[in-house]
Chains A and B, each alone.
Chain A
Amino acid sequence: MVSLGRILDRYQSVGLGLAVFGAPFAVYSFLVLLSVPLTALGLACVVLGVSITMVPESPVPSDTIRAMVEASCVGVEAVLEEFNARERAAYLPPRDGRVVAYIPFKAGDYSSSWRAQDAPLRVVTEVGGEPALMVFPPGSEIVRLAQPEREGGESDVEGALEYVLVDFLEAVESVKSLSVGERVVVEIRKPRIVTEFPRFNAVLGSLPTSVSGCVVAHVLGKPVRLVEEHSIDGGVSATFEVPPGSG
């Protein structure tokens, strides 16, 4: 590792070396050697070097991430079964960097989702006197690792979903989102991860939908409640609801 005030990883070291070689070589070839091909070679080294520098450190292979994600569904399914959770989850914005899924026990208790952000972070918690379940869905760790940008708010939801689901996790072929009033509709095409956990799917949505919920909550910084999920041609469409008056 090269140290230039901070430790450079392998990619940065190699890229910097190529760029440092290429730039003066291009200038020298152009001005002294008067050789266009050698100048072009120097420029190519600069282009390649800077490109290599911008590639992040080797990410965890997506196959490994997918396997870990699917395995983590087993634990969540067990918890949901144990507490007989049936209501659709609300994904709360990150606390300590992790999105939490909030599942009220009481049927039709949607309003508590909007007040759950300050509820104690426990497996069984309470909002307004009503008990509820809190779990860390697999998507919370994925969002923590991927760290999609969140400065743009609603306009960045689709970009963040694409980055996490398509580029980082490679879990779906494509994803689109549309904000309509207080609802965010996410369309997922050709999901590559299909899990057969009935309670998980019923409460948190299918795995790509659950990850989408975590991403949307992370980007918007608001609780988002899963309203419905249904199959569409070649994929899945999920609708999330944001708190009233904030859409």
Chain B
Amino acid sequence: MSRSVWKGPFVDGYLLKKADESQKSGRKEVIKIWSRRSTILPQFVGLTFGVYNGRKFIPVLVTESMVGHKFGEFSPTRTFLGHAADRRAKRA
């Protein structure tokens, strides 16, 4: 059964504080966080977090479609280095 609605989404308190500070300052910065378990909230859209995967910080640029997911989903702990072949990267 999923988490009860009355409880609300879980977010670590320190992360909310850091995100608020970053939004108020208006600086472009990457907020380094360790809380992979926190839910991505709508107020995080547009911010870039560096989510720790146990070795390094993976940059996560939050978009609307990511709201409701956990930060850890976008920062894999095991990396497979595939072949480049004809793969493309798009600069956002």
A binds B: no
Question: What residues make up the interface of A, taking CB atoms closer than 8 Å to B?
Answer: none
Question: What residues make up the interface of B, taking CB atoms closer than 8 Å to A?
Answer: none
